Chain A
Amino acid sequence: MTAVFLGIPTAPRGVGHLRGDESFPDAARNSLQNGQLRANLGHATSTIRGKRAAVVGEVADWAELREAGRAIKAATMARLDEHLIALEEQVTARGGTVHWARDANEANAIVTRLVQATGTDEVVKVKSMATQEIGLNEALEAAGIAAHETDLAELIVQLGEDKPSHILVPAIHKNRAEIREIFLRTMPGVDPELTDEPRHLAMAARAHLRERFLRARVAISGANFAVAETGTLAVVESEGNGRMCLTLPQTLITVMGIEKVVPTWRDLEVFLQLLPRSSTGERMNPYTSLWAGVTPGDGPQEFHLVLVDNGRTAVLADEVGREALHCIRCSACLNVCPVYERAGGHAYGSVYPGPIGAVLSPQLTGVQDNASLPYASSLCGACYDVCPVAIDIPSILVHLRAEHVEAQTRTTPEAVAFRALSKAMSSPRLWRLAQRAAGLGRFLARGRPTLPAALPPPASKWTRTRDLPTPPAETFTQAWAREHGG
């Protein structure tokens, strides 16, 4: 069943950051020409892959935790309405106020109104994917409110007037020298002797933000988890900027996608093990803040929770695709993805890049608005293997490709090919014929390992951007039949 058929709206156009200006292949072709970007990404992702593998390897019950994480998320989605109602009840009972936003525009309007009601014209923000998704900073700016990003990577992106390219480390595409250059250019009063030592750069950020934290009256945060049974919100972070935002201002506004709710307090015992090891490759992240409503004499005395749909219910309507809502935004799938490592996050055009972005963005917007993303993958399956909640990203990609092809009214070569493929795969006789036809490919390759890029159209559309391996002399089934006499 699809959202379109059920009349459930997707994320609206013209607001937020879920759609790129160009298709993935076009954007990727540009970024592939940027050697510095590829070097930065390759270095950073290989560092983190090694760390993740080491700390996941030391957990004897990782498979059991992963299965529990998957099951909790599936159970959450099956009763999402009930959990959200329970969460609202609990947060309200503890002195918070819950707001519901159908989409980005509504969420932005609610937050703007709440900030304006406090009489301030600046807010501090702790990194939140949801607020990036809905374009909150732009909406606040339009209302004359300055939003200061406080996460180091977010700050680098904001000061560099850049766009985030990774879920966890939005400035992953910048190396230390580039970051130093941005700081020297944009930070008022920065030490001109600033080196590109990561420690010095972190200290510069500390000095730059310290005073802002101390004077801030309103903070805006995201949430990693919200516990329905207790009304507890959780923010997982490293630098302490999150704690500053969650503790010092008088008013706290938390913006959260509706899929972030978990049913019980115990569920956190699973996710607080899965998330840090998968994301930064640490046994535990330096700081996790947990709070329920308002605590007299400790932290913000006014708390607002904004629950945002913005296309999530449309994702929920798709029985295969809804698994994308299980994502805990660890970014492990980005770090292992060969396509992400080469193309970079910007090529995806959405705040959600990489494998998870390729399945989430097109579902939030409707596949017609992000039609090239489901093809931004080699289906190698590495994303599924590392995903701490076992989201079967490759299967969702194939599912979305089929949906895209089906929705196409114009007959493109790709559509014809996919239709033919699905037809061939559904009949053993046709499949054997197709495999024999692959022998033609061997002839064209004339002994080289890949097929020539200059195949005649429409095949050239495919080989222009991909090295198509020469088909093997014998298919697996032929070899099996020869060896086993089957």
Chain B
Amino acid sequence: MTAREDILGRIRTALGPDRRVPAEISRDYRLTDDRSPDDLLDVLTDRLEDYKATVVRCGPADVAPTMARALRTALGEHAPADVVVAPGVPAAWRPDGAVEDDGRPAVDLAAYAAAVAGVSVAIAETGTLVLDGSALSGRRALSLLPDCLVCVVEAHQVVSGVPEGLARLDPTAPLTMISGPSATSDIELQRVEGVHGPRTLVVVLVA
């Protein structure tokens, strides 16, 4: 007998001939929220700042200059080519002189100081940005290796809670849910921001 057959057989033996299959799951928890879109942006901002992320807001026409300012604050004076952007990031958002990710070996992305990506959805209640591996979000290594990550979030991408967020996602895509800069609670259970992932997270909120 293969291990597979053996294990499946054990499960059937363990459950017995007349297994009780429970009724439908009752999902009485909140699935939606009646807060206004403006309120959700405020909640998202509050949560992100609680994680020590930097949030800057701007109108649709001002993304590039806003981002340039935020990058200068985060990185100090830097070469424009120190910034790498996901291939699907619109031209209007790109900081001058930024390099587009061209599919080079993933580990080479570690040489950049900052990465710029769009998100697939943002969850206000938990301060979570979700990247989905699309051209706009970029591959996973892009949002991981450079020490500073800039995410652009558009107002229509913001949902209230986790159920609404997951409903908008493709479960088979390579997804990364990001809630603040990398952090650890491993020393005396105190949170410290900045370990292996980006130590700085900047969110440009476009509304």
Contact = CB atoms under 8 A, between A and B. Distances in A.
Contact of A238 (B27, B171, B184): B184
B188 A199 contact: no
B188 A239 contact: no
Contact of A81 (B8, B171, B185, B197): B8
A202 B195 contact: yes
Contacts of A266: 27, 163, 166-167
Interface string A212-248: 0110000000000001001110000011110110111
B25 interface: yes
A421 interface: no
Interface stretch (A113-121, A132-140, A169-177): A169-177
Given A213-B196, A283-B125, A290 B188 contact: no
Contacts of B57: none
A3 interface: yes
Contact of A298 (B29, B133, B181, B197): B133
Contact of B127 (A85, A244, A283): A283
Given A65-B29, A289-B175, A203 B194 contact: yes
B11 A240 contact: no
Given A61-B29, A231-B172, A238-B182, A47 B192 contact: no
Contacts of B174: 289-291, 295, 298-299
Contacts of B171: 227, 230, 232, 265, 290, 292
B15 A71 contact: no
Nearest to B198: A240
Contacts of A71: 22, 25-26
A270 B29 CA distance: 9
Interface string B127-164: 11000010000011100100000000000000001110
Interface stretch (B66-74, B91-99, B103-111): B103-111
Interface residues of B, number: 72
A290 B198 CA distance: 19
Contacts of B128: 284
A84 interface: yes
Given A61-B29, A72-B25, A265-B166, A199 B10 contact: no
B25 A101 contact: no
A102 interface: yes
Interface centre among A60, A175, A232, A240 (most CB of B within 10 A): A240
A268 B166 contact: yes
Interface in B7-61: 7-8, 10-16, 19-22, 25-30, 47, 50-51
A179 interface: yes
A94 interface: yes
A280 interface: yes
A238 B183 contact: yes
B189 A286 contact: no
A298 B178 CA distance: 17
A61 B166 contact: no
Interface stretch (A148-156, A186-194, A453-461): A148-156
Contacts of A74: 22
Interface in A68-96: 68, 71-72, 74-75, 77-81, 84-85, 94
Interface in A330-370: none
Contacts of A169: 185-186, 189
Contacts of B6: 100, 102
A212 to B, nearest CB: 11
A43 interface: yes
A106 to B, nearest CB: 6
A80 B7 CA distance: 11
B74 to A, nearest CB: 17
A287 B178 contact: yes
A286 B182 contact: yes
A67 interface: yes
Contacts of A314: 10, 14
Contact of B144 (A206, A238, A243, A283): A243
B7 A100 contact: yes
A88 to B, nearest CB: 8
B127 to A, nearest CB: 6
B201 to A, nearest CB: 9
Contact of A239 (B139, B172, B197): B197
A284 B179 contact: yes
A210 B154 CA distance: 33
A45 B6 CA distance: 41
A214 B185 contact: no
B177 interface: yes
Nearest to A315: B14
A44 B188 contact: yes
Contacts of A47: 188-190
A307 interface: yes
Nearest to A231: B172
Contacts of A285: 179
Nearest to B8: A81
Contacts of B25: 68, 71-72, 75
Given A75-B22, A270-B29, A316-B11, A289 B176 contact: yes
21 contacts: A6-B14, A67-B28, A68-B25, A74-B22, A79-B21, A85-B8, A102-B3, A152-B184, A238-B195, A239-B197, A240-B182, A240-B198, A268-B166, A269-B163, A273-B29, A280-B185, A283-B50, A290-B175, A290-B176, A292-B173, A299-B139
Interface of A: 1, 3, 6-8, 40, 43-45, 47-48, 60-61, 64-65, 67-68, 71-72, 74-75, 77-81, 84-85, 94, 99-102, 106, 150-153, 156, 169, 171-172, 175-176, 179, 198-199, 201-203, 205-206, 209-210, 213-214, 227, 230-232, 238-241, 243-244, 246-248, 258, 265-266, 268-270, 272-273, 276, 280, 282-293, 295, 297-299, 307, 309, 313-314, 316-317, 322
**Nearest 9 CB-CB pairings of A with B:** A240-B197, A240-B196, A313-B10, A317-B14, A284-B126, A239-B195, A240-B182, A284-B179, A153-B186
